[in-house]
Amino acid sequence: MTDFLNIVEPATGQHLWSGVISDVDSDVEIARQAWSEWASKPLTYRTEMMRRFANQVKAERDVLADLISRETGKPLWESRTEVEAVIERVEASIKSSGERTPNRRIEGALGLRQALRHKPHGTLAVISPYNMPALIPAGHIIPALIAGNSVVFKPSEMATAVGSKLTELFRAVGLPKSVLRLVVGGPEIGKKLAAHPMIDGLLFTGSARTGLALNIMYAANPGKILALEMGGNNPIVAWDTVDLRTAATLVVQSAFLSAGQRCSSARRLIVKSSMADALIDEVKILANRIIVDHPHADPAPYMGPVISNAAADELTGAFLDLMAKGGQVIRPMTRPDPDLPFLTPGIIDVTSVTDRSDTEYFGPLLQVSRADSFEDAMAQANDSRFGLSATLLGGSPSHYDQFWANIRAGVINWNRPTNDAAPTSPFGGLGLSGNHRPTSFYAADYCAYPVASAEIDTMRASIGIGLRADERDAPKLVLKGYF
């Protein structure tokens, strides 16, 4: 009996896509057999293939954006932004490959050359989440293919329609089917792929719990590359600014873009006590204006639903738990339709909550706390096992210098949202946020490994000390007067 994966639109509950559950062993074997031939292609051939892919995405940008919105619930304007980011990622990845993993040769004396080249790992698995179902996997697949790897790609079971379309776009420009394999299935399929003995590494974006399990699994096999990006409990520190409306806008952008379903979304607002009430009022006013609706609504919404009813239930439960622990509600999180996963932005003051959970609440839930000193604000910001992104709003240059030097995060911004990251910059974190394998512009680093070579056309060698005389050299020694 054939098993299928079925996907529904979170905004409507209607069926969107179905696919047959994959045979992981077969897909890995096909990709494994294909990678050496792909790696033997010239780099110019592989990069040109990626440029053709970018042109194919441009040609079908509206179709892809519509599918992203239907599958994730994101507003159409935001899905279009994601598609444009996929297109931009191609040139950024080509540039990254040239800068991060170059081939170099230094000529030395007597024809000796010192060479640096980079080799692909072989067959890499890519496991990606639902929140950015085109950009995140593309950010792994494109540099992996440029480097010469074959790829086995498993999208989230909640975003496989987009994953399937992305694979189709690669193949439409002539990429061999064997070089990029799509794996369809749920968590068990993902586990099987991650543990498969014939893959040479795993590029993973997802939850900290899964990432920790993968880290333990791969610890016993250092020959395989593992790149983890696992989200964050990201802080915004607001300090000494009179421009409260702009500060509030940056807070709302950080906390509620994508319905709070970005790993770089702000989860915590830490604000100077003397300005807290005024800033909180501005944030609340703006949050009250946010339109929450289906992706294609008119007027366009700022937020769509979260990914599923289960996710909505978990988030409303978390909000109620914070209330029960003494949190003061600033703006209640509500669920307009009990049958669909739409949520309104929830804001709660947790200053008096003593046992705050260091949890990544993956949705539109913002916790607010007050601080009397900048040192206290910094301590609160660093009171987390995560370390992905952090932002300082306001403050002086010396405040930012102190913030940058002491905050534990891989993305540190000043007067910009926590989720502002350029494709020409690395993106990654520390602690429970990652394992020092940043993606985006630094993705090339984990898609190939460096090889150092000393090379010369003619063999030359001698040992000048510590050897007994060689009888074969006796005639030469006589001539030189040694005998």
Q: Is residue 380 part of a domain?
A: yes
Under 8 Å between Cβ of 114 and 105: yes
Residues 224 and 275 in one domain: no
| Judgement on whether residues 187 and 304 belong to the same structural domain of the protein | no
For position 56, what pLDDT does the model report?
Answer: 98
**Rounded to an integer, what distance in angstroms lies between the CA atom of residue 73 and that of residue 71?**
6
Range of the domain at 268: 234-422
Phi, psi values for residue 5, rounded to 5°? -105, 125
Q: Is the same domain home to 322 and 278? A: yes
Number of domains in the chain: 2
Assess whether 263 carries a catalytic annotation. yes
List the one residue out of 38, 26, 36 whose CA is nearest residue 193.
26
Asked if 238 and 225 sit in the same domain, the reply is no
Considering the domain architecture, whether residues 177 and 224 belong to the same structural domain is answered as: yes
On the 0-12 / 13-18 / 19+ scale of CB atoms within 10 A, 116 is middle
**200, 121 contact by CB (below 8 A):** yes
Q: Return per-residue pLDDT of the chain as tens, 483 residues.
A: 679 999 999 999 999 999 999 999 999 999 999 999 999 999 999 999 999 999 999 999 999 999 999 999 999 999 999 999 999 999 999 999 999 999 888 888 777 889 999 999 999 999 999 999 999 999 999 999 999 999 999 999 999 999 999 999 999 999 999 999 999 999 999 999 999 999 999 999 999 999 999 999 999 999 999 999 999 999 999 999 999 999 999 999 999 999 999 999 999 999 999 999 999 999 999 999 999 999 999 999 999 999 999 999 999 999 999 999 999 999 999 999 999 999 999 999 999 998 889 999 999 999 999 999 999 999 999 999 999 999 999 999 999 999 999 999 999 999 999 999 888 999 999 999 999 999 999 999 999 999 999 988 888 888 889 888 877 766 665 555 555
The whole-angstrom distance between residue 480's C-alpha and the CA centroid of its chain comes to 70
- For the chain, what is the radius of gyration of the CA atoms? 27
Nearest C-alpha neighbor of 282 from the set 326, 379, 347, 201? 347
Alpha-carbon separation of residue 120 from 92, 204, 426 (angstroms): 19, 18, 20
With vertex at residue 84, the alpha carbon angle to CA 78 and CA 85, rounded to the nearest 5 degrees, is 90
Q: Catalytic residue among 9, 263, 282, 360, which?
A: 263
Angle at the Cα of 426 (from 173 to 84), degrees rounded to 5?
40
Residue 62 token pair: 């509206």
Contact 20/1 with Cβ under 8 angstroms? no
Is 254 found in the same domain as 159? no
Active site residue 229: yes
The CATH number of the domain holding residue 53 is 3.40.605.10
